[in-house]
Structure 1
Amino acid sequence: MPATAARFQTTLHDITTPQNTSTHNNAPTHPGMVWIEGGSFSMGGDNNQAADDEYPKHKVTVDGFWMDITEVTNARFQAFINATGYITTAERKPDWKELKKQLPPGTPEPDSFLLVPASLVFVAPPAEVPLNDYSQWWQWKTGANWRHPHGPGSTIEGKENYPVVHISWYDAQAYCKWAGKRLPTEAEWEWAARGKLTGNIYPWGNEPVEQGKPKANSWQGHFPDQNKVLDQYYYTAPVGSYDPNGYGLYDMAGNVWEWCADYYDSRYYQSVTKPGGVLNPTGPVKACDPNEPLASKRVIRGGSFLCNDGYCSGYRVARRMKTSEDSGMEHLGFRCVQQ
């Protein structure tokens, strides 16, 4: 492990230990994790920014679980790669036979120069652009992957304690299996993100993200062309750069979106709502995104360094987003849980 990573692991232990106060904690088998007591809460949108798929609010009860106190870092992912030789989705040539299953029938096969190992990289436009066309700021870049987050020539050297990105759902699953962990359900993720607070908009409470001191790594300014960088980071930030929530979890808002285990269905909350609540929901049996009905999508949570109230307000604890299982992007990572 590089020296910077080793120093970070020491720091990680130091900031984790004070949070471990229940009888479940201080277990040597759960380093870098904190115990989240089970309980009940009202899941769903808390303010007028909530989207239709955040309703109806409904009672959910979850059992207790362990959760990584930070997003999985480059150092931890490197350890997985060293141990297994795993090759991430972004490092492989796309399989057109699999890709076309997600596309409307008759979609022509792309030129061969596009079917190469690549991933989506954020590139700020020079001026204001329509927000309904994300191709204005996302670029499919050959050679972009977790080792080269901005594309060829970029590196993670010296960024061992930054969140690993360009991770597909399959990549996250592979890491979890190796680590003896799993991805959180969407309900577990929201319960943990709320940090013992009731009915609040953000992990820290209700103060708007740009008021007071920086509370998360987000986009400050006019998205996507002007970022004031008041939080000190234009792209990702080192994990643990901002105050934790009430459970001692860092970056449950901003920095990078985080994969959940659940399929995404825009109508799922309508189907799962019951008068007495629901216990440990695990999501729908299949994905359903009306905008891309053939794509198999999973839920992502927490927002990223690109989130802004003028665009997605993804740092709200109830905000639901989704992406296809094989997607890897510069603002997408994960954290793990364990029973």
Structure 2
Amino acid sequence: MDKVFQDRRSWPPAMINIPGGQASVKDEASGIRWTVDLPPYRIGRYPITAWQYQQLVNDLAVPDGQADTPKVEVSWLDAISFCNQISLQQGLTPSYRTTVDGEIECDWGVDGYRLPSEAEWEFACRAGSSEVRYGPLEDVAWYRENSEGSIHPIGSKAANAWGLHDTIGNAWEWCWDIYDPAVYGPYRVFRGGGWCDPAHGCRASCRRKSHPTYRIDDVGFWLAQSVCNGSVMRSGKPEL
């Protein structure tokens, strides 16, 4: 059995250690750029698959041929719930809690699974590269011109320099961050581009957003974990 297939069915999901560093994030609509200092963290080698999602949310039937594809049609709130569920199953401290006002808070200082911040996502996606992609688009991503109109199994395109697959194309991935609260309220960021996007949408810097309750047919998620002690501020974003 090859390594990629084993990782597709790994439980808990395969994770990669990411070194600390400084991430530069840009909002292309406004032109505003900000930087975030990141301590070391961990992130999934691949996005969560439909098979992995079913290990905890087992009331959902996986469509034929899609067990090893990224789990899509999952809302931001679904992804948050999954993070807490897998944390509890693995004996870790959940990262998320709901306040009395109904707001969701993240504790960056615990060992539980969580969504990456968008700075963490972009830093891991680039893997030290300053280019818009970590390789030729045809080699690294499923997108409009080569996907034949459907999602594909994870790990079937080339990995980046740090061993992550499918950061570009195949499915967008939810991040923790609110996109622009002054304009869009609670809308959350997703990153990476999907199987039906043109080349322009499949870049490390491309940011999109949606309501946290919406389930979209090309949006999934990655797992991340903190590896440092104490609460860490991961958002250096200015008001847009």
TM-score normalised according to structure 1 size: 0.54
Paired residues of 1:288 and 1:297 also in contact (CA < 8 A): no
**Structure 2: how far apart are the matches of 1:247 and 1:79?**
27
1:189 has 2:121 as partner = yes
SS in 2 for 1:80: coil
Calculate the aligned-residue CA RMSD, in Å. 2.5
1:299 has 2:189 as partner = yes
SS in 1 for 2:24: strand
5+ unaligned residues in a row in structure 2: which ranges? Answer: 88-112, 227-240
- Write out aligned runs for 1:53-132 (5 A): 53=30, 55-82=31-58
- Write out aligned runs for 1:263-302 (5 A): 263-265=178-180, 287-289=181-183, 293=184, 295-302=185-192
Match of 1:256 in 2: 171
CA distances 1:199-242 after superposition (whole Å, capped 9, x unpaired): 211132xx5x3xxx44201011xxxxxxxxxx354211101110
- Write out aligned runs for 1:218-229 (5 A): 218-220=143-145
Match of 1:239 in 2: 154
Match of 2:198 in 1: 308
**Structure 2: how far apart are the matches of 1:248 and 1:74?**
21
Match of 2:70 in 1: 163
Paired residues of 2:84 and 2:114 also in contact (CA < 8 A): yes
Closer/same/farther in 2, CA of residues 189 and 33 from structure 1, 3 Å limit: same
Q: Which has the higher strand share?
A: 2
Paired residues of 1:12 and 1:32 also in contact (CA < 8 A): no
The CA deviation at 1:163 is 0.9
Match of 2:5 in 1: 11
Paired residues of 1:264 and 1:288 also in contact (CA < 8 A): no
SS in 2 for 1:174: helix
**Structure 1: how far apart are the matches of 2:68 and 2:157?**
14
Paired residues of 2:178 and 2:189 also in contact (CA < 8 A): yes
Match of 2:14 in 1: 32
The CA deviation at 1:43 is 2.6
Closer/same/farther in 2, CA of residues 264 and 232 from structure 1, 3 Å limit: closer
Match of 2:109 in 1: none
SS in 1 for 2:182: coil
**Structure 1: how far apart are the matches of 2:17 and 2:41?**
6
Q: Which amino acid aligns with 1:315?
A: C
The CA deviation at 1:13 is 4.0
The CA deviation at 1:258 is 0.5
**Structure 2: how far apart are the matches of 1:10 and 1:320?**
28
The CA deviation at 1:40 is 1.5
Larger radius of gyration between Structure 1 and Structure 2: 1
**Structure 2: how far apart are the matches of 1:203 and 1:172?**
26
Match of 1:107 in 2: none
5+ unaligned residues in a row in structure 1: which ranges? Answer: 1-6, 17-28, 46-50, 86-145, 148-154, 221-230, 266-286
**Structure 2: how far apart are the matches of 1:187 and 1:255?**
20
The CA deviation at 1:307 is 1.1
CA distances 1:68-110 after superposition (whole Å, capped 9, x unpaired): 111100110000113xx6xxxxxxxxxxxxxxxxxxxxxxxxx
**Structure 2: how far apart are the matches of 1:12 and 1:65?**
23
Q: Percent identity?
A: 28
The CA deviation at 1:9 is 8.1
TM-score normalised according to structure 2 size: 0.75
The CA deviation at 1:158 is 3.0
Paired residues of 2:13 and 2:52 also in contact (CA < 8 A): no
Runs of 4 or more, structure 1, over 6 Å off, are 7-10
Q: Which amino acid aligns with 1:42?
A: S
Paired residues of 2:18 and 2:40 also in contact (CA < 8 A): yes
1:202 has 2:184 as partner = no
